[in-house]
Amino acid sequence: MRAARLIKMVLLLQSRPSMTAAELARELEVSERTVTRDAQALSEAGVPVYADRGRAGGYRLVGGYRTRLTGLARSEAEALFLSGVPGALREMGLEDAASAARLKVSAALMPSLSDASRAAAQRFHLDAPGWFTEPRTPELLPAVADAVWDDRRLLARYRRGDSDVERELEPYGLVLKAGVWYLCARVTADLDSFRVYRIDRFTAVEPCSERFVRDPDFGLPAFWEERAEQFARSILRAEVVVRLSPDGARRLPYAVDPAAAREALEDAGGPDADDGWVTVTLPVESEEVAHSQLAGLGPDVEVLAPESLRARFTGDARRLAALYDRP
């Protein structure tokens, strides 16, 4: 533990001109007294750590000293490629590895580039969860992430309906979508079957002793894009016919599934000659969902079919008229 802290202290001092005891204590998560003892231990070991006294003083390395302890471990290198997603790293248990990797890279850079990581962090940040949601980290995510990194089979139990199902999986990859974590895995009992699991539905996971050999043709981004599109299509099991004003047509992709809206508008005929309204056949999840979504378009949409949905909007219009007719 102390050896790792001493190495981190050297790398910190190597990446910056000087640091105060308070700054080092904050970075190393120790007291300033411990920083003083560590600096003395490094000096006794031959590392030229020099302490500047006074109000603006601090610790620095003398004579352009450069450590050779900058080789990246495998986990650090892997985490470095994810370092733009700090929340995801923290949830997968890789925050420390990413921090060590960034320090090693900073220490290996020329002095003129030493502020590159800080400059990038000040300019770019990825906030994956959607608005108005409270993302929760699945308790079992770090264990699943370890199996993914290690290509190790995983015995998983997950909720399906009112019962638990147990499967042995080959965990290929993790996807963070709108604050929800998913596992893309192949079922060991059916190696032709790749599936997607929500990790927050896992009730237990246990890594197996056996590792698996990855299918070289599997590509996580392409697989996820295909499955996500299939899922979006699979829930659109009903159809409605609507007329839309020009403004309603423009707003339709913001009210319903965007891809379905765009396709429906492309397949529609031309606008009416009189008022410019267009008639479209739109796939929807259900009549209930369509009622909720299309209501947001207000007077810029007219439902033509099914009759039951049109009756809902007729009732809405009458209640609104009665409400606003009151003095």
Task: Supply the pLDDT for residue 59.
Answer: 87
Please state, for a pLDDT cut of 90, what percent of the chain lies above it. 32
**pLDDT bracket for residue 27 (50, 70, 90):** confident
Who contacts 36 (Cβ-Cβ below 8 Å, separation ≥6)? 21
In this prediction, residues 94-121 reach a mean pLDDT of: 61
CA–CA separation, 263 and 282 (whole Å)? 9
Who contacts 234 (Cβ-Cβ below 8 Å, separation ≥6)? none
pLDDT at 13 over 60: yes
Task: Supply the pLDDT for residue 310.
Answer: 95
Range scoring the smallest mean pLDDT among 9-13, 36-40, 122-126, 146-150? 122-126
Residue bearing the bigger pLDDT, 78 or 56: 56
pLDDT at 94 over 80: no
Distances (CA, A) of 257 to 177, 223, 229, 306: 16, 21, 11, 19
Task: Supply the pLDDT for residue 254.
Answer: 92
In this prediction, residues 199-228 reach a mean pLDDT of: 90
In this prediction, residues 177-202 reach a mean pLDDT of: 87
**pLDDT bracket for residue 88 (50, 70, 90):** low
Residue for token digits 């020329």? 110
Determine contact, residues 145/93, Cβ cutoff 8 Å.
Answer: yes
Task: Supply the pLDDT for residue 115.
Answer: 56
Task: Supply the pLDDT for residue 178.
Answer: 76
In this prediction, residues 13-37 reach a mean pLDDT of: 86
DSSP 268: S
DSSP 272: P
